[in-house]
Structure 1
Amino acid sequence: MLLALGMFVFSIDTLAFDDLNRRANWRHATSTRVGTRDATQFTGPGEETISLPGSVFHEIADGSVSIDELRAMANTGDAWSLVDGRGYVYGAFVITGIDDRGKGFFPDGTPRQIDFSIELLRVDHDDA
């Protein structure tokens, strides 16, 4: 298991992502001052996102089934816990976007390769 989002497991048999891109922001309010730098005050954590780009090949796994399952999860609007194979808990995330592109089609229209990207947004608190 590479990663689990709720009950969906990212693995070789489902969707194996190529990268895990994690971005976090922290908010600082500013107040203008004359003759010096603006005053700042830390106001708390901002947005945290994770992007999972990758490719799945039809000979290994039917990626369209896994992508459809993730789309169904996204349609609920629910938050899902995100845990990696080592047991590290990232927090609760919602699915905000799924992009997929089929390439190299079989005669019946089934793609040999699907490139995908899944966008996640953290919705819980650090102390949760």
Structure 2
Amino acid sequence: MPQQNAHNAYMTLGDFDFSLSTAAPASLKHSAAYRWPSHERPGQRAVRQFTGPGDERITLDGVIYPQESKHGLEQLPRMRRMAEAGKALQLVSSCGAVHGRWIILNVQETRSYFLDNGAARKIEFSLELSRYHDDKG
């Protein structure tokens, strides 16, 4: 039987569910670059040649309210451990679409609205992913 979180997840990266109870993304930015190097020509303008697709990246921005989350503060350290493992992770959307393997390039957080004990009431995060390709096809 699927886990409870799996039904409410907006997307899953590896075994991490992005949901209201963990870390819900407020925005997703997807960029795909294409390589068109410039070749200089004497007496003429440079010409460009298409050499294939370049980097593909996804940036997930979101907010965690630790007091309202059953997972408290463990989400961002868990994302960092996933990044430090150095493995490509499967990205799956809530509708079950598989988007291939991605690597975590950056985990950033901003803490604000502190309580008397120094705990943040609001944690904004940004997770930068890059599509992983290997020579196996």
The alpha-carbon deviation at position 37 of structure 1 amounts to 4.0
Identity of aligned residues (%): 35
Q: Which secondary structure does the structure 2 equivalent of 1:72 belong to? A: helix
Deviation at 1:109, TM superposition (A): 2.2
Alignment CA distance shift 1:115-1:35 (3 Å): same
Aligned with 2:67: secondary structure? coil
Cα deviation for residue 104 of structure 1 reads: 1.5
Gaps of 5+ in 2: 1-8
TM-score calculated relative to the size of structure 2? 0.83
Structure 1 stretches lacking a partner, 5+ long = none
Equivalent in 90, 93, 97 of residue 102 of structure 2: 93
Tell me the alpha carbon deviations over residues 40-77 of structure 1, each in whole angstroms, 9 at most, x when there is no partner: 22111101111111111123214520111101001111
Structure 1 residue aligned with 2:124:
115
Matched pairs, number: 127
What secondary structure is seen at the aligned counterpart in 2 of 1:49?
strand
Residues 65-122 of structure 1: CA deviation (Å, up to 9, x unaligned): 0111101001111110111101222221111111111111223222111011111111
- Whether the 8 Å contact between 1:93 and 1:122 is mirrored in structure 2 is yes
Q: Given the two structures, how large is their TM-score scaled by the length of structure 1? A: 0.88
Say what the alpha-carbon RMSD is for the aligned residues. Answer: 1.9
- Pick aligned residue for 1:105 from 110, 114, 127: 114
